[in-house]
Amino acid sequence: MAKGHGPSSASRGSLRSVVTPFESLGCARALGGSSVVLESQGRLGVEGLRQPGGGWSHLQVARLVLGLRCLLCSRLWLMLLVPFLEAWEVNRGTNCVTTYLADCEAQLCQAPGKGLLYGVPVSLKECFSCKGHDSTLGLSRNQGTPAECDCVVVQVLKLQGAVPFVHTNVPQSMFSYDCSNPLFGQTTNPWMSSKSPGGSSGGEGALIAAGGSLLGLGTDIGGSIRFPSAFCGICGIKPTGNRISKSGLKGSVYGQVAVQLSVGPMARDVESLALCLRALLCEDMFRLDPTVPPLPFNEEVYTSSRPLRVGYYETDNYTMPTPAMRRALLETKRSLEAAGHTLIPFLPANIPHALEALSTGGLFSDGGKRLLQNFEGDYVDSCLGDLISILRLPKWLKGLLAFMLRPLLPRLAGFLSSLRPRSAGKLWELQHEIEMYRHSVIAQWRALDLDVVLTPMLSPALDLNAPGKATGAVSYTLLYNCLDFPAGVVPVTTVTAEDEAQMEHYKGYFGDIWDKVVQKAMKRSVGLPVAVQCVALPWQEELCLRFMREVERLMAPGRQPS
């Protein structure tokens, strides 16, 4: 296994233990092992970080001290310095950080001496707009266009005393579950450098897993919080689409509402996710963005200990679970039953149609025209696979290819068919069909009187550049974006040698290129984390978190990157 970048022992716990953080920490260890280059604009010196060697020059230390001169006392200084150095050290091995948010020192001085996140450094996926900083999304056209103000979520974090301190890397345009772009390069998995950290919140997953951040925020429209969390062995939750404000976020496509984008937290443990949601679901957010339903965090639901009725499925019959995925699901099921919960077989109806016609059709209802505009005159990163080339095909050719491929490669044919642009009337029909599908699955759920659902989660991590060639493997996550159900992932085990041996016989359900890529890209995975997915009905994030916490209590493997 390639060298990881693990956290210090002081940063392994939940945020609950560090709300008054770093008082017992010294900075000698961090200073001794880092190589940091600060530039006057606060931009991370990427080339400097990529150079070999460690240790600081006296001049670099002096510059850092001068840059932090506004801090009020040594306690405040350490609150920012220690996580800053941890993040930089992690970045040297994973290339997960894009920008140092240079005004965080002054913001720490001005932060109210209260708030649920007072003094907690928070990392942000690069799409979270911060005043004075670019959110490039790995696209050249977005360079040199700094945000005029903080997005609503960043404003609320600051009002709760948190200190946003870095932007983290994303795949180009964020339309991938890998993490690479021409501006900042490839982010790697801290468990094994040949593996992807997932995406599109891949920088967050790598930074948090390796101990460079206690808490991060990501976004999710097809699994973009859940893939990095699963691949990197941390916890993450995708809330209902409008539970947390999206106002002010940077995107590559605006106006697409058929499949909902969500904002959610990522951390090493479920309690930290809950603390973040407590902090965000406050009067400040409801005031700054009145379009968000004013639903504060429901403590009674989260802290309940009543036995749960849990639906579960071993496979969605679209992406064959790997041996490790199936074992993780069944071991979690048995542990839940032993703890007194009731497990009931359940499978949402018509999943292929939901993935191909509804989800893909909704995401690309303009035929990909708006997404393609982002790439005009720009290099297309390899992490996107053939997506951009396919979107550039004329409408008639997409239709012809879909017709020709359907007998032999039905999944690829369904995907191609859904990439054709549609009229406003056809889009309305699609959105109505999504709404009806959502109600039909809710009816299935309620007919069994379920509280939550347990599903497999794609894992372990795929090889670098493989996600762009295995589009169909998003099935376990994309379904719940289409349904707009809250869904989170929890690591429960690691890949064994037996899992690896059984993977040699993996064929998938269709034997197409997507199945073949999954089989090949999950080799050499012994020791990598494997997760399960926990799902609840819309607006029941607290119940989803309560279920995740129960899974974590029963199953958490307790390992981190070495």
- Reference 198, options 447, 553, 541, 461; nearest CA is 461
The rounded distance, in Å, linking the Cα atoms of 508 and 502 is 13
- In Å, how far from its chain's centre is CA 360? 19
Q: What is the DSSP letter of 69?
A: T
CA distance 561 to 168: 19
User: What residues act catalytically?
Assistant: 125, 200, 224
The number of beta carbons lying within 10 Å of the beta carbon of residue 337 is 12
Do 235 and 488 form a contact (C-beta atoms < 8 A)? Answer: yes
- At 36, which helix (H) or strand (E)? none
In a domain? residue 467: no
Q: What is the CA radius of gyration of the chain?
A: 22
Amino acid 119: pLDDT: 86
In a domain, 197, yes or no: yes
Tokens of 316: 């969605």
CA distances from 278 to 120, 372, 551 (A): 14, 38, 20
- Residue 243 domain flag: yes
**CA–CA separation, 562 vs 2, rounded Å?**
9
Residue 129 lies in a domain: yes
* Sequence-separated (6 or more) residues with CB below 8 Å from residue 157: 117, 122, 164, 217, 279, 280
Query: Does the residue 216 lie in any domain?
Result: yes
Q: Is 143 exposed, middle or buried (0-12, 13-18, 19+ CB in 10 A)?
A: exposed
Show pLDDT as tens, one digit a residue, over the chain (562 residues).
444 433 333 334 455 444 333 332 222 233 333 333 333 323 333 233 333 333 444 444 444 444 544 444 455 666 667 777 888 889 999 999 999 997 776 776 776 668 999 889 999 999 999 999 999 999 999 999 999 999 999 999 999 999 999 999 999 999 999 999 999 999 999 999 999 999 999 999 999 999 999 999 999 999 999 999 999 999 999 999 999 999 999 999 999 999 999 999 999 999 999 999 999 999 999 999 999 999 999 999 999 999 999 999 999 999 999 999 999 999 999 999 999 999 999 999 999 999 999 999 999 999 999 999 999 999 999 999 999 999 999 999 999 999 999 999 999 999 999 999 999 999 999 999 999 999 999 999 999 999 999 999 999 999 999 999 999 999 999 999 999 999 999 999 999 999 999 999 999 999 999 999 999 999 999 999 999 999 999 999 999 999 999 999 999 776 667 6
Q: Is residue 180 part of a domain?
A: yes
| Global confidence as pTM | 0.88
Asked if residue 455 lies in contact with residue 445, where contact means CB atoms within 8 angstroms, the answer is: no
pLDDT of residue 79: 66
- From the list 462, 477, 473, 474, the residue with the least C-alpha distance to 532 is 477
Structure tokens at 304: 């309940």
Is 416 a member of any domain? no
Those residues whose C-beta lies under 8 Å from the C-beta of residue 329, and which sit 6 or more positions away, are 312, 314, 321, 454, 455, 456, 532
As given in the structure block, the two tokens for residue 117 are 């996140």
Helix (H, G, I), strand (E, B) or coil at 492: strand
- CA dist., res. 308 & res. 304, Å (int): 10
Q: Which domain holds residue 62?
A: 9-301
Q: What are phi and psi of 523, to 5 degrees?
A: -75, 160
User: Is the Cα dihedral 118, 124, 129, 130 positive or negative?
Assistant: positive
* pLDDT at residue 428 in the model: 97
Answer whether 91's CB lies under 8 Å from 47's CB: no
- Other Cβ atoms closer than 10 A to 447: 9
Whether 383 is in a domain gets the answer no
What is the total count of domains within the chain? 1
The neighbour count for residue 498, using CB atoms within 10 Å, is 12
Beta bridge partners of 217: 124, 265
Output b/e per residue, 106-139; b: 16+ Cβ within 10 A: ebbeebeeebbbbbbbbbbbbbbbbeebbbbbbb
CATH code for the domain in which residue 84 is found: 3.90.1300.10
